[in-house]
């Protein structure tokens, strides 16, 4: 029966692909401009009626910017529960889950 060590070129190609994808992801994360996220929360569209009186406003984003320390632990646990039920039981990552995410 053939094993992974019987295919060194395949192993090298898989490793290189993983490395390149990781490097591109890291580069993208480090160079993405997030400075205008707060500005989008502050900006809103003002709606005027036919008499040029303010009728209302629509926010660009529904939400309020808060620091990480202001986020309730219940929110963190809810996200973990919906994304990965075994987060606290498993260490590292599962190849099956990684493939599903891709």
Number of domains composing the chain: 1
The residues that bridge with 44 in the sheet, in sequence order, are 59
Q: How far is CA 37 from CA 7, 9, 60, 61, in A?
A: 47, 44, 11, 10
CB-based contacts of 76-84 (< 8 A; 24+ apart in sequence): none
Within-domain flag for 94: no
User: Is residue 82 in some structural domain?
Assistant: no
**Tens digit of each residue's pLDDT (9 = 90 or more) over 35-94:** 777 666 667 788 898 899 998 887 766 667 788 889 899 998 888 778 777 777 777 777
CA separation for the pair 24, 77 (Å, rounded): 30
pLDDT at 22 over 80: yes
Q: Report the pLDDT value the prediction gives residue 25, as an integer from 0 to 100.
A: 92
- CA distance linking residue 76 with residue 93, whole number of Å: 19
Please state, in angstroms and rounded to a whole number, the distance separating the CA atoms of residues 39 and 51: 29
Q: Does residue 14 belong to any structural domain of this protein?
A: yes
Mean pLDDT of 19-32: 91
Task: Answer whether residue 61 is part of any domain.
Answer: no
Q: Is the pTM of this model over 0.85?
A: no
Identify whether 8 is part of a domain. Answer: yes
pLDDT in the model for residue 79:
84
User: 2 pLDDT band (50/70/90 cuts)?
Assistant: low
The band of 33, judged by pLDDT with boundaries at 50, 70 and 90, is confident
The reply to whether 52 falls in a domain is no
Domain containing residue 13? 1-32
């Amino acid at each position: 029966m053939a094993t992974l060590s019987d295919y060194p070129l395949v192993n090298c190609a898989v490793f290189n692909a993983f490395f390149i994808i990781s490097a591109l992801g890291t580069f993208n994360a480090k160079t993405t401009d997030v400075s205008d996220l707060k500005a989008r929360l502050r900006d809103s569209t003002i709606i005027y009626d036919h008499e040029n009186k303010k009728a209302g406003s629509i926010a660009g984003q529904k939400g309020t910017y808060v620091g990480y320390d202001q986020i309730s632990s219940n929110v963190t646990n809810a996200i973990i529960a919906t994304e990965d039920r075994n987060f606290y039981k498993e260490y590292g990552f599962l190849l099956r889950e990684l493939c599903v995410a891709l």
